[in-house]
Structure 1
Amino acid sequence: MASLYELTIPVLTRVLRTEESLLKKAEEHAKTTGTPVEELVAARLAPDMFSLSKQVGVTVLFARIVSHLLAGKELPPTQIGEWSLEENYSFIAGALELLAEIKPEDLNGRESEIISFNYVNGKYSSYFNTTLKLRASNANNFADVTRFLVPSVYFHLTTLYDILRHKGVPLGKANYLEHLVADWEFS
């Protein structure tokens, strides 16, 4: 069975690198078509859905939660905002740095601990109003990691991809999978 570290840190790293790559494709598209990049960053699929920027924000937030709470560290306040393209790049880079600092021994062995984080009053995000209590594992099957964390980050990555496709950015499945299968060998 994969370890808690293997189920979190590499997954989040690949998702964030994919988001960064997709944003670069969006930036290239904006330059070639004359589309304001701000229009792409603020785009959403439906009026009540998060913007592209907030899709990035949620995955950055989850990376911060895993890198801090699961590793037993204090979670600094994190906001999910309407960030510029440059801010999106910066927040992704910061999250990748945090993830790179986490070692397997920081997470492995903490599977049965319950982590709790509160979104109320904008402390971590003004878009949620609940306290989440998660256990990394449930009967040694990493239930909350595999049923909540991983599906959530892939949901937001997929939504970011879909927003860009909807706005005409020429992306294909290979762009989505580029970092997710980077360690695979093809023959």
Structure 2
Amino acid sequence: MSFYDAVVPAYLQMLNSLTGLLTKAEAHCAAKKIDPAVLIGSRLFPDMLPFGKQIQLVSDFAAKGCARLTHTEVPSVPDTETTFAELKQRLAKTIDFVKSFKPEQFEGADAKDVTFPAGPDRSVTLKGQQFFSSVSLPNFYFHAATAHGILRHNGVEIGKRDFLGMN
């Protein structure tokens, strides 16, 4: 299996499943007459980031992960989304960005150095494989799972199949 085949499909599966989760969350709000801003601002615990920010971070980890691994320009996207439509649009743009990468861009990327920020005044350099498997992908899945958990906690009728993008 190529490094591209390990990276791109993993990001795309979850980005697409989150798009489906947003659709279900939006329908849930409409059916229960809940202000969508309430759900978008919901957290699992007061010191955790809200649902909307979880979606933004999933988007960032996918886009920036691909860019860093291929040594292409790392996108900078302002976090301005406040509606389901805007969050879906952000995911759609991220999906298009991730789909724009070609397998040859990932050739040898697993062994190349990847430098990334690790705080306000610090950066870390890892080999591509280690960056992907120890930093980018775990953070990507953490924020995706947290977004799913926030929706489930708030009564949106979703399960593991929705998380996996099988519904």
TM-score relative to the length of structure 1:
0.81
Partner of 1:51: 50
**Which one-letter code corresponds to 2:103 in the other structure?**
P
**Any gaps of 5 or more consecutive residues in structure 2?**
none
Q: Which amino acid aligns with 1:22?
A: L
Distance of 1:23 and 1:134 partners within structure 2: 34
Show the counterpart of 2:161.
Answer: 174
Alignment partner, residue 18 of structure 2: 19
> Greater relative contact order (Cα 8 A, min sep 6): structure 1 or 2?
2
Aligned to 1:92: 91
Matched letter for residue 94 of structure 2: A
- 97-106 or 79-88, which deviates more: 79-88
CA distance 1:147–1:76, shift in 2 (3 Å): closer
Contact 1:54–1:81 (8 Å) recurs in 2:
no
**How well do the aligned residues superpose, as a CA RMSD in angstroms?**
1.9
Which structure's residues are more often helix, by fraction?
2
Q: CA deviation at 1:82?
A: 5.5
Matches within 5 A, 1:52-71: 52-71=51-70
Residue 79 of structure 1 corresponds to 78
Q: 1:81 to 1:20 in 2, by over 3 A?
A: same
Residues 1:134 and 2:126 aligned together: yes
Contact 1:58 1:80 (8 Å CA) reproduced: no
Unpaired runs of 5+ in structure 1? 120-127, 137-141, 183-187
Paired residue total: 166
Letter of the 1:113 partner, please give it.
K
